[in-house]
Chains A and B, each alone.
Chain A
Amino acid sequence: MAMFRKKALLLRERAALEVLRKGYVIEVEDLTKKFGDFTAVDHISFRVKKGEIFGFIGANGAGKTTAIRMLCGLHRPTSGKGQVAGFDINTQQEDIKRHIGYMSQKFALFNDLKVWENIRLFAGIYGVEEKKIALKTDEILERLGFTDQKNTLVGQLSLGWKQKLAFSVAILHDPEIVFLDEPTGGVDPLTRRKFWELIYEAVNRGITVFVTTHYMDEAEYCNRVCMMVDGKIEQLDSPENLRRKFGVETMEEVFTIVAQKAQRTDD
């Protein structure tokens, strides 16, 4: 029985690699999510290349979080199809979960656990071997320059540190893609810049980054940005091309022009 399952798993993995060979780690078509009469995400289609930083930008309530949750397998799409990390988002969400990392808008680590205990927990969930967990923990803390805080309760850390730690935990199992849902909410620009250094490091290790934000300075850091208005994709291009298209200097101005179309009010 166990061997059977293992074989089936390997076959699914092989099929996924086949899909990824085309160079896209995310492909979705007409993805839609309705909550009752409310259409949170309205027929969106896009593709994300391997190794790119893909920004998802929109006002509050534009449908970013819902879209990201569908891609992670937390919400079932109402309609539409697609693949994430080579697996079907409608049928293989359990396979997807093993190949992605996710950092949510709400702080997602456990405040009453120490720094190393949080790392250990998530390593355990992803099935990292006991021996490797300690190595992994030291590696993460060293990279963050955080070794002396190993035994601090996460609840006592500053928000900036919490976010850096949550990001490191989200990529601890070397996922294909990491989804970041407004990872830098509520911190100062300097801390945000430091956070983005971590993101670039992850990209250098071959991890694709899918990030939602409403800070326009962060939009500049992305390879391509996708602007959502009222659940639909309004613009999708590199920051340079978008600025040129609208004839403006900054992404801030691009966003102001695009977001004016919004009919929905905040939540």
Chain B
Amino acid sequence: MRQFFAFVEKEFYHIFRDRATMLIILLMPVVQVLIFGFAITTDIRNTSIAVYDQDRSEESRDLLSHITSGPYFRVEQEVREPEEFDEIFKKGKIKLILVFPPDFSETLAENRTAQIQLITDACNPNEANIINSYIQNIAARYALSLDKGSVESVYVEPVARMMYNPQLKSAYTFVPGVIGLVLMLICTLMTSVSMVRERELGTMESLLVAPSKPFHLIFAKTVPYFVISVFNLAVIILLSLFAFDVPIRGNFGLLAGASLTYIFTSLCLGIFISTVSKTQQIAMIISLIGLMLPTVLLSGLMFPISSMPPVLQGISYILPARWFIDMARAIMIKGLGFGSIWMQWTILGGMAVVFLGASVRGFKIRLN
């Protein structure tokens, strides 16, 4: 035990004396939450549009004011000629041009279906789709409001209710994801690199020639990162509670338990990577490309897993982050209890056991 504490002390010195790394580790979660929260948002706000109004009637202006009254669209420009369309899109600022045909008000007056044209910059298809559907929604509502008097037509009016996240805030999905990402980065990357660094510096030699127990050596490496991860977890949760109003609807203890399990699994994975990599570069590459990239793309952090091809879905099963993000969303956003996350929990725990077992077996007491 004395040996174990001696190692833990040493690891803390290593980390706290490396100011630059320390700063990065502590600031990274804040920066990531802010980036995901403010920059990579899928909400459509303040989108610039242009209008080519060939009708110039009360009705066309009425519809336009419906569109611009919300926080979503702003008319940036009036278009005079269709020839200008190309130029406008090339400048890139305007994402959509709304075209009213010359007979717009006339058609409406005759109680027939009038058309408007939406010309969208589809360089970013996701965004284009969302913009389109927002405007279609507004136009449909406008059409209904015109229809008060008539009794002949029958409509099915869908009344949508968004469960768990009525305002469709993207923060609700990304906060659990960012927790998963940051913890993985700190636990796995930092642990694996610190172990291999020791081998490269030659200090591992002095530790191995002393009667060091591999178990002590390995576990001592993980203790400081565990502490830092818990701190970061708290920072992210506080930030998302107060800056993004993300709720924790479920049991807080449950969330903490799930997070600690995930941290432990990530640490074990980091140790495992360090036992299979010869140099710091290799450890870094495995962690970043082999792990971070799939975690960002495939864990459900940004894109829904269910719409991925089966092969990629298969890969997502082996990412610890996938299971954690699942659990965190269930607990934080849906407020579910242990009954609905036990499977993910067990899988994470199982992964930890496998990684740890493989590492202790693979750790070399001798140098060759």
A residues at B contact (CB < 8 Å): 35, 69, 72-76, 93-94, 97-98, 100, 102-104, 106-110, 112-113, 117, 120-130, 153
In contact, B366 and A73 (Cβ under 8 angstroms): yes
Known A-B contacts A108-B205, A126-B211; A75 and B10 likewise in contact (beta carbons under 8 Å)? no
> Bound state CA distance, A124 and B212, in angstroms?
10
Cα distance A232–B208 in the bound complex, in angstroms? 27
The reply to whether A124 and B2 form a contact with Cβ atoms under 8 Å apart is yes
Given A121-B9, A125-B6, A127-B2, A74:B208 Cβ within 8 A: yes
Assess whether A94 is in contact with B206, with CB atoms less than 8 Å apart. no
A110 and B208 contact, Cβ closer than 8 Å, known pairs A69-B367, A124-B5: no
B203 contacts A110, CB within 8 Å? yes
B39 on the interface (CB 8 Å rule)?
Answer: no
Q: Say yes or no: is B58 at the interface (Cβ < 8 Å to chain A).
A: no
List residues of chain B with CB within 8 A of the CB of A35: 368
Question: Which residues in B have their C-beta under 8 angstroms from that of A127?
Answer: 2-3, 211
Q: For the complex, would chain A's binding face be called helix, strand, loop or mixed by DSSP majority? A: mixed
Can you report 26 residue pairs joining A to B where beta carbons are below 8 Å apart?
Answer: A69-B367, A74-B205, A74-B209, A74-B367, A75-B366, A76-B368, A93-B365, A94-B365, A97-B211, A102-B206, A104-B202, A108-B202, A108-B205, A110-B14, A112-B18, A117-B9, A120-B9, A121-B10, A124-B7, A125-B3, A125-B6, A125-B207, A126-B210, A127-B3, A128-B2, A130-B2
B206 touches A113 (CB 8 A): no
By beta carbon, the residue of chain B nearest A114 is: B13
Given A97-B211, A98-B211, A126-B211, are A75 and B5 also a contact pair (CB < 8 Å)? no
Enumerate chain B residues within 8 angstroms of A69, measured Cβ to Cβ.
Answer: 367
Given known A-B contacts A97-B211, A125-B212, A107 and B202 have beta carbons under 8 A apart: yes
Q: A100-B209, A125-B207, A129-B2 are in contact. List 4 more A-B contacts (CB 8 A).
A: A98-B211, A102-B206, A117-B9, A124-B9
Please tell me if B17 contacts chain A, counting CB pairs below 8 Å. Answer: yes
- Total count of chain B residues near the partner, CB < 8 A: 26
Chain A residues lying within 8 Å of B209, measured Cβ to Cβ, are: 72-74, 97, 100, 102, 104
Cα separation A106 to B200 with both chains bound (whole Å): 10
Q: How far apart are the CA atoms of A231 and B202 in the complex, in Å?
A: 23
The CA of A129 and the CA of B365, in the complex, are separated in Å by 25
Which residues on the A side are within 8 Å of B2 (C-beta)?
A: 124, 127-130
A106-B205, A108-B202 known; A125 vs B211 contact (CB < 8 Å): yes
Question: Which B residues touch A109, using CB under 8 A?
Answer: 203, 206
In the bound complex, CA of A126 to CA of B210 (Å): 7
Chain B residues near A130 (CB-CB < 8 A): 2
Tell me, rounded to whole Å, the shortest Cβ–Cβ distance linking A18 to chain B.
Answer: 21
Shortest CB-to-CB span from B42 to chain A, Å, is 44
Residue of A nearest to B212 (CB): A125
Q: How far is the CB of A128 from chain B (nearest CB, A)?
A: 8
Q: Which residues of B contact A94 (CB under 8 A)?
A: 211, 365
Residue numbers in A under 8 Å from B206 (CB-CB): 102-104, 108-109, 122
Report B198 CB to chain A, min CB distance, Å. 9
Q: Which residues of B contact A120 (CB under 8 A)?
A: 6, 9
